[in-house]
Structure 1
């Protein structure tokens, strides 16, 4: 590329010299004098004979000669423009010059190859440059540049450029690798001034750090050599600078006006205040949460009274409903739990509870949500109806298998609120400890409205009669009014027992009367006959 640029410069210089010489001769020819006999010079310009007398512009022949000379000037000018365009194109190539990895290794860059046959080291049929990072076809043993064969296979999948049946890539042969290692290559940035000659194996590393590659200034976007960039940016007014202390970003020429010591200290103070306020808010939030957790623990153990007692309601446990709502999953700094889509049931979209998986499609369900192959499905299928599909792949046959181990591991990481949290329970347990906790949770019990005795609906259920309710109230408040209530209750119960006995006697009398009535009816019928 450098030799072509130099020859283009020489050609343009020669053309300019010819134009200048022509103009000098033209000026001499246009001086008024008698028309002499003329001959054609070696440059194609008309000139005088040995005495070089000037032309007479009033003579027709002189006008013809001048017109021809102008035509010759126009031709030379067009030739000069072509040379200039060629020079501009080659200069643009120098500016856009990239690394060997992108444009390949041209043969002209090889400096010493007298002992090496370069014909064996060319990329066959594609770029015809020196092989760069070569690979070979396993069938025909032809070597190609890795970049060339990659582009080829993109347009011609699985086809060898040498028309083999299939292209199977293998590494470069050891002979080719040894031959390439002997080459000495001129740096690709030689037109920019780099005179380094590097071995083939060290070429790529050198081009990455070569100081003669063109780069752009980050401020003014001016192109320059890599080795001059540091010095330029230290003086460039458009380069952005970041203060290490206050992190203010400004242009280098605005440092004195936009980044004085006073401005820097003020910005540091502002950032420190903002950071301090954020840390204070975080500490207050942590303190508030710690106080809440401590108060909840003391209330649950009965050490202190709850100022705002929660009215308990009847709630079914997770085992009873066979459902774990996704809103009960806790995500905080201590849980490290991630509720991803794999942990949600394919049917109800809640967290899988007692999970099972389909062996066909891999879909995961809760135990109660899994597809059931019942008798009606078989009848529907027998009469040509469509089977019930499940999962994202519309699987029709469900084969129940245990869930994969990674699902079990992810479930074990989950932290879940107790189902009795609305009743005041603040316990957060792991997924596989949840069932055991809910079997023992005291917030499952609901106090009686009269005696406030905690009652549980877990089996075996304790029957809480009205008598037991009054006994509990008398134990908690043994006052005279409670004794009167107990006497009244015993009287009511005795009266109710007498009423039940009287009702039983009445029922027996009615039965006997009905029996006697039927006997009388039978005797009356016989007498009538």
Structure 2
């Protein structure tokens, strides 16, 4: 097969293996090219052989010809070139593992190549003469050398000069790319490969030129082309219609880079994948674009009441649309006779009708059944039976939780609905499991009629409302530190034995020692007060003579401003416990 055997890459991760495997030969890309129809990448030999007997793309089946193939962007080729691969002559005894980009250079000189002369490393031919072979090789290199000198003549211009002339074309505001300092785990190689040469930041919405396959931020190259008609890299003619999206492999690799939250500077400690940054930012508790009181978007001259009224009008409009759809479905169902043609497949119609009914669109009779009469209380068995019938297709009305928390909460709810035959028991155990997972306090309300109008003061990002049939479950969190629950979470490994450090100027060995002290003290203490006192004693004993200080309190219950000795301060979280340890300045 044209590609490189996957078994030759000893350090290749599962993600890179999937992303950089050709779907035709099922090997690692060799000379990758990308299609223009779906931006899928293949080995050049693989897709060329395919197109000799086919006229469509093997991925999306759209029309495809060899002229519609383009070389993969340099970023992708360079990333591929850094993969470590075993020598071609591994089976002959060579144990060299080189970067893919260095493989050809190594193979030329590999002592285990049976086709090469052991003395001069040239091709072994009939009547081989080492001196003659080396002279021929030198002549070839001299010809290549002269060609390189011509290509680098000063008349061809300098890429650095091009970039210098471009300085000042970008507005003085924030650059389009992502600040490289926001990527704590980014390697130096990835930093170089995924940096836009215009804004000098990590790519944001990258596009690739067709002339030189160079990649830039879309906003950067668009601004450049407003005042230039040539590529900033190779100076060839370039226009916006000659820009294309990079292959999916490159986008997926970029999406996996870990980036700090947009609100890191004001307290958020989340580091998420770049592809998840937008979804996290929307629910981030430090997002100042949302009003902390009404949770509406904060605008100029923001008024909570006006914002909520606007939101209410929008919801009412949505409800009117749903009501119209509901009535239309009912009329169509009533008008369809045995001899008439049905609206669509019966199964699809009934499923759509069930989803509209499950929205529970109500009239002004919020507390009744539509006739002004109170709805009778349902027995627990009937409520739970209905929930279990809809267990596989719950309707999520609202959720402010992150994706992984939403999935975990739904899993816990379903488990408890199946495990207990009492509504109270289900709520009790849902709360217990969530507190063990995420800390105190969690609350669960089951409303069999969907008419609950209570208002909850929940913590931002910790709220979910979900329906099973006509039964609504509301789950939310209010922040309170429970010492017993905190210790149980540590015991059951729900909190890793590692400090979530907000800031420290301690060295690594001291941080390690402080971590061990904090978790050992929490394990044997019965309250926050006991913990603070014990931590001070342990730190005084370990690092005399200056006395140590310690603050410990519930997370998000305020801040402390202290004066401390340089190199002797650490501020961190243990679950919901905020811990500050430091040596105070002496008067």
Name the TM tier (shorter chain): under 0.3
Higher radius of gyration, 1 or 2: 1
Which has more helix, going by share of residues? 1
The TM-score, its normalising length taken from structure 2, stands at 0.22
